[in-house]
Amino acid sequence: MPAEEATPAIVLRTRDYLESDRIVTLLTEQAGKLGGIAKGAKASRRRFEHRLELFSHVMLYFRRRPHGQLVFITRAEAAGLKPFCLEDDLGRFALGTYMLELAEALTSEDAEAAGAYHLLVEALGALGAGQANAALRQAYELRMFRWAGFGMQFDRCRICAQSQAGAAAVYFIIGRGGIVCARCRERTPEGGIRLGAASGAALAQLGRLPLEAASAAPAAGPDGALAIARFVASVVDRKLRSVEFLDSVIAPA
Ligand SMILES: [Zn+2]
């Protein structure tokens, strides 16, 4: 039998299976994204104590199986890991659900994802302690995409590298993952999404701030939100189910 492994993990998604089992997708610190089955999860309080719910932050004990994708989850314990309390507030629940879904979409099984795990811990902690708003959403999007290798740039023109601080407008080009200045735009075929000065500056700042400070910072307006949404759609190969609900709960700045 394969050895039991243990790692801190956050539950991204769950579904019940048969009468008493549960299938769980988790983002772990040491084993990347994992899908697992918890046999008897609904009946065994001793081994699971309701610790395999959405947002649960647990020490996960599991065994790999020689065949098949799902690992066997043997136990889940609190182990002093920071709990995330998001379910008593609709805005926090909506943004938290989106954070989980984006983390799931940008990670893959059998690939290292410790950075994404730590970023999700930081984001859900900031969400539990602060306000669920557009600024925190945008800061998380920028940071999670940067972790995944898709850093977006909002302070300098992607072509001439001139700082755009103070520029009246810049143009976000999806294929370049960043902005170009008004002058360079004339030489780019893609056109781009026009960002007003305030939105460009907000996104440049949100990409640098620690997430715990993000909800108090200015958010980009609808032009910036559109630029990020188009970029997300160009990278993520599926429709994120939580977006529509989130957009209905948290209005763009
Ligand atoms: Zn330029």
> H/E/C letters for each residue in the chain?
CCCEEEEEEEEEEEEEECCCEEEEEEEECCCCEEEEEECCCCCCHHHHCCCCCCCCEEEEEEECCCCCCCEEEEEEECCCCCCCCCCCCHHHHHHHHHHHHHHHHHCCECCCCHHHHHHHHHHHHHHHHCCCCHHHHHHHHHHHHHHCCCCCECCECCCCCCECCCCCEEEEEHHHCEEECHHHHCCCCCCCEEEEHHHHHHHHHHCCCCHHHHCCCCCCCHHHHHHHHHHHHHHCCCCCCHHHHHHHHCCCC
Please give the distance, rounded to the nearest whole angstrom, from the Cα atom of residue 148 to the centre of ligand 1: 26
Is residue 27 predicted with pLDDT exceeding 80? yes
pLDDT score at 42: 76
144 lies in some domain = yes
Average confidence (pLDDT) over 19-30: 95
Is residue 189 predicted with pLDDT exceeding 90? no
Average confidence (pLDDT) over 132-140: 97
Average confidence (pLDDT) over 185-204: 93
Q: What value does the mean pLDDT of the chain take?
A: 93
pLDDT score at 38: 94
Q: Do 152 and 241 share a structural domain? A: yes
- CATH value at residue 11: 2.40.50.140
Please give the distance, rounded to the nearest whole angstrom, from the Cα atom of residue 161 to the centre of ligand 1: 6
Please give the distance, rounded to the nearest whole angstrom, from the Cα atom of residue 179 to the centre of ligand 1: 8
Instruction: Rank 61-70, 77-86, 120-129 by mean pLDDT and report only the highest.
Output: 120-129
190 lies in some domain = yes
Answer with the one of 77, 92, 108 that is the final residue of a domain.
Answer: 77
Please give the distance, rounded to the nearest whole angstrom, from the Cα atom of residue 189 to the centre of ligand 1: 14
pLDDT score at 1: 77
Q: Do 141 and 245 share a structural domain? A: yes
Please give the distance, rounded to the nearest whole angstrom, from the Cα atom of residue 194 to the centre of ligand 1: 14
The pTM of the full predicted model, rounded to 2 decimals, is 0.95
| Residue 219: domain span | 132-253
Which protein residues have their CB within 5 A of the ion that is ligand 1?
Answer: 157, 159-160, 181, 184
99 lies in some domain = no
pLDDT score at 37: 95
Is residue 206 predicted with pLDDT exceeding 90? yes
pLDDT score at 68: 78
pLDDT score at 213: 96
